[in-house]
Amino acid sequence: MILVTGGAGFIGANFVLDWLAASQEPVINLDKLTYAGNLETLTSLQGDARHIFVQGDIGDSALVSRLLTEHQPRAVINFAAESHVDRSIHGPGDFIQTNIVGTFHLLEAARGYWGDLQGEARAAFRFLHVSTDEVYGSLGPGDAAFTETHRYEPNSPYSASKAASDHLVRAWHHTYGLPVITTNCSNNYGPYHFPEKLIPLMIVNALAGKTLPVYGDGMQVRDWLYVKDHCSAIRRVLEAGKLCETYNVGGWNEKPNIEIVHTVCALLDELRPKADGTSYKTQISYVKDRPGHDRRYAIDARKLESELGWKPVETFESGIRKTVQWYLTNPGWVANVQSGAYREWVQTQYAGQEAA
């Protein structure tokens, strides 16, 4: 049995689905179901006794302690977080609360549980914290990619809150001996990605005939990894990662944002051509930049590759094609996540941004 937190979100849900497709080991899935949590993603697990879903907060120590004692998991994998940089700029409070205070309570509950374990169960227990490359800050054009020893230089409320949580996780090992491992991954994309993030937003806006808002000059660089490759990296780290080590996860796929948007448009032109014969690219609109926008992220994943033998399966070309195809064949999922709360966010973030 493993305990996954945030398993109704984008990466957590992909992880739970992939885990149960490959293993009989049950999962307790603790998720608060914020705007980003969506049980519809997990519909295929309805009636599956290996998946126990619990709606709740990682900051609720009593609940987490009860779940740990009752189910005796061999690992906690912490995906739960507020994850969207733009939202952290509009309202950092929830990021401090979940990403820092919530992680603190989760660590304390795990410490209490692990402290009572004996023998093999105690030796085998792991707390795997899922983090981000954004904790390392921004790179210049010629800088080497982030290694695990790059110093922490977070620039947004989101990345600062994730950096703080990484430090707590590290300290709980050094001070209390809690068996932790941290992963720092680059930008994910793939199925079930909430359409507030770049790639799914571009797909759903393009199909709806709306503008494709590119921040600033569109030359910011992100390093993209197909979500299922991130999930396989986490499984491998859980299986063979060394205690208190950190592992960078990335796919060696650095791309400027405008190239990503052009690729999405080209795939849509091919797979769902517009009736008037024009390209989706005509919908691109450069808008005001994100405040404090990090210019470039790049992950050096050699430690994970050489020490644990992990490699991504998808290239960017194969992964982005699968992703666009997934959104074309799942319009119902997209329609259902575009709730009142989603529409309110789009209004707050993009209103009056047409002219950059």
Dihedrals phi, psi of 120, to nearest 5 degrees? -65, -40
Q: Quick one: 28 or 206, whose CB is closer to ligand DAU? A: 206
The one catalytic residue in 136, 158, 280, 350 is: 158
- Name the CA dihedral angle for 83, 84, 88, 94, rounded to a multiple of 10 degrees: -40
Q: Which residue has the tokens 């004692």?
A: 69
Which run of H or of E encompasses 5?
strand 2-5
Find the binding residues for ligand NAD in span 167-186 (CB under 6 A): 185
Q: Can residue 5 be called a binding residue for ligand NAD (CB under 6 A)? A: yes
Cα–Cα distance between 294 and 178 in angstroms, integer? Answer: 33
Find the binding residues for ligand NAD in span 219-248 (CB under 6 A): none
Residue 297 binding partner per list ligand NAD, ligand DAU, none, with a CB distance cut-off of 5 to 8 Å that depends on partner kind: ligand DAU
Active site annotation includes 134: yes
Coil, strand or helix: which one is 67?
helix
Residue 85 binding partner per list ligand DAU, ligand NAD, none, with a CB distance cut-off of 5 to 8 Å that depends on partner kind: ligand DAU
Q: Can residue 287 be called a binding residue for ligand NAD (CB under 6 A)? A: no
Coil, strand or helix: which one is 319?
helix
Cα–Cα distance between 68 and 50 in angstroms, integer? Answer: 16
Size of the site for ligand NAD (CB under 6 A): 31
- Please select the residue that binds ligand DAU; options are 51, 84, 173, 255, rule is CB under 6 A: 84
- Interface mask toward ligand DAU for 183-212; x: CB under 6 A: ---xx---------xx--x-----------
Coil, strand or helix: which one is 117?
coil
Q: Can residue 166 be called a binding residue for ligand DAU (CB under 6 A)? A: no
Active site annotation includes 280: no
Q: Can residue 265 be called a binding residue for ligand DAU (CB under 6 A)? A: no
Rounded least distance, CB 47 to ligand DAU, Å = 31
Q: Can residue 83 be called a binding residue for ligand DAU (CB under 6 A)? A: yes
Ordered alpha helix ranges (H), the chain: 10-22, 61-71, 85-90, 93-95, 103-116, 119-124, 157-176, 198-207, 227-240, 257-271, 302-308, 316-329, 331-337, 340-350
Residue 98 binding partner per list ligand DAU, ligand NAD, none, with a CB distance cut-off of 5 to 8 Å that depends on partner kind: ligand NAD
Return the structure tokens found at 334. Answer: 């997209």
Residue 11 binding partner per list ligand DAU, ligand NAD, none, with a CB distance cut-off of 5 to 8 Å that depends on partner kind: ligand NAD
Q: Can residue 8 be called a binding residue for ligand NAD (CB under 6 A)? A: yes
Please, which residues have CB within 8 angstroms of residue 317's CB and are 6 or more apart in sequence? Answer: none
Helix, strand and coil percent figures for the chain, each rounded to 5: 50, 15, 35
Q: Can residue 80 be called a binding residue for ligand NAD (CB under 6 A)? A: yes
Q: Can residue 230 be called a binding residue for ligand DAU (CB under 6 A)? A: no
Dihedrals phi, psi of 177, to nearest 5 degrees? 85, 5
Cα–Cα distance between 107 and 285 in angstroms, integer? Answer: 44
Rounded least distance, CB 257 to ligand DAU, Å = 4
Q: Can residue 323 be called a binding residue for ligand NAD (CB under 6 A)? A: no
Cα–Cα distance between 245 and 205 in angstroms, integer? Answer: 40
Task: Tell me how far the alpha carbon of residue 26 is from its chain's centroid.
Answer: 22
- Please select the residue that binds ligand DAU; options are 5, 78, 98, 132, rule is CB under 6 A: 132
Active site annotation includes 305: no
Q: Which residue has the tokens 């569109």?
A: 218
Q: Can residue 130 be called a binding residue for ligand NAD (CB under 6 A)? A: yes
Single out the residue of 337, 51, 83, 87 nearest to residue 192, CA to CA: 337
Rounded least distance, CB 264 to ligand NAD, Å = 16
Provide the binding-site residues for ligand DAU, judged by CB under 6 A.
Answer: 83-85, 132-134, 186-187, 197-198, 201, 213-215, 220, 222, 257, 290, 297
Active-site residue list: 133-134, 158
The residues binding ligand NAD (CB under 6 A) are 5-6, 8-12, 30-34, 36-37, 57-59, 79-83, 98, 102, 130, 132, 162, 185, 187-188, 194
